[in-house]
Amino acid sequence: MNVLVTGATGFIGSALVSILSSKEGFEPVAVVRRQQSGLPAVIQTVQVGDLNADTNWELALKNIQVVVHAAARVHVMKDTKTDPLGEYRKTNVAGTLNLARQAIDNGVKRFIFVSSVKVNGEATEEGNPYTAADEPQPEDPYGISKLEAEQGLFELARGSSMEIVIIRPPLVYGPGVKANFLKMIRWLYKGVPLPLGAIKNKRSLVALDNLVDLIVTCIDHPAAANQVFLAGDGEDLSTTELLERLSMALGRPARLIPIPGYVLEIGAALLGKGDIAQRICRSLQVDISKTHDLLNWQPPVTVDEALRKTAESFINTKEK
Question: Would the pLDDT of 78 be above 90?
Answer: no
Tell me, yes or no, whether 193 lies in a domain: no
Higher pLDDT, 41 or 143: 143
Other Cβ atoms within 10 Å of 16 Cβ, number: 28
CA distance 7 to 304: 27
Q: Is the pLDDT of residue 240 over 80?
A: yes
Please list, in sequence order, all residues whose beta carbon lies within 8 angstroms of the beta carbon of residue 232, skipping any fewer than 6 positions away.
169, 170, 204, 205, 206, 210, 286, 288, 299
Residue 66 lies in a domain: yes
Residue % of the chain over a pLDDT of 70:
93
The pLDDT value given to residue 76: 59
CATH of the domain at 86: 3.40.50.720
At 42 the pLDDT is 60
Q: Is residue 252 part of a domain?
A: no
234-251 average pLDDT score: 96
Question: What single-letter amino acid sits at 304?
Answer: D
Residue type, 238: S
- Domain membership flag for residue 312: no
Using the Cα atoms of residue 172, residue 175, residue 176 and residue 180 in order, give the sign of their dihedral. Answer: positive
Q: Is the pLDDT of residue 36 over 70?
A: no
| Separation between Cα atoms, residue 11 and residue 149, nearest integer Å | 21
Average pLDDT of the chain, as a whole number: 91
Residue range 83-101: mean pLDDT, rounded: 93
Q: Which domain holds residue 60?
A: 2-173+205-234+285-301
pLDDT at 319: 58
| 12, 64 contact by CB (below 8 A) | no
User: For residue 150, what pLDDT band results from cuts at 50, 70 and 90?
Assistant: very high
Predicted pLDDT of residue 317: 85
pLDDT-derived band of residue 80, with 50, 70 and 90 as boundaries?
Answer: low
Residue 211 has pLDDT above 70, yes or no: yes
**120 domain residue, yes or no:** yes
Whether 125 is in a domain gets the answer: yes
> Residue 85: what residue type?
L
* pLDDT tier, 159 (very low <50, low <70, confident <90, very high otherwise): confident
In a domain, 179, yes or no: no
Dihedrals φ, ψ of 30, to 5°? Answer: -95, 125
Is 42 a domain residue?
A: yes
For range 160-186, the mean pLDDT: 95
Active site residue 142: yes
Domain count, the chain: 1
Pick the catalytic residue from 88, 130, 142, 173. Answer: 142
- Is it the case that residue 276 has pLDDT exceeding 90? no
- Kindly tell me if the per-residue pLDDT of 98 is higher than 60: yes
> Residue-wise over 82-107: b if at least 16 C-beta within 10 A, else e?
eebbebbbbbbbbbbbbbbbbbbebe
Q: Look at residue 157 and tell me whether its pLDDT is greater than 70.
A: yes
| CB contact set of 299 (below 8 Å; sequence gap of 6+) | 206, 207, 210, 213, 232, 233, 234
pLDDT of 37 over the 60 cut: no
300-314 pLDDT tens trace: 999 999 999 999 999
pLDDT, average across residues 154-158? 93
Q: What's the pTM?
A: 0.92
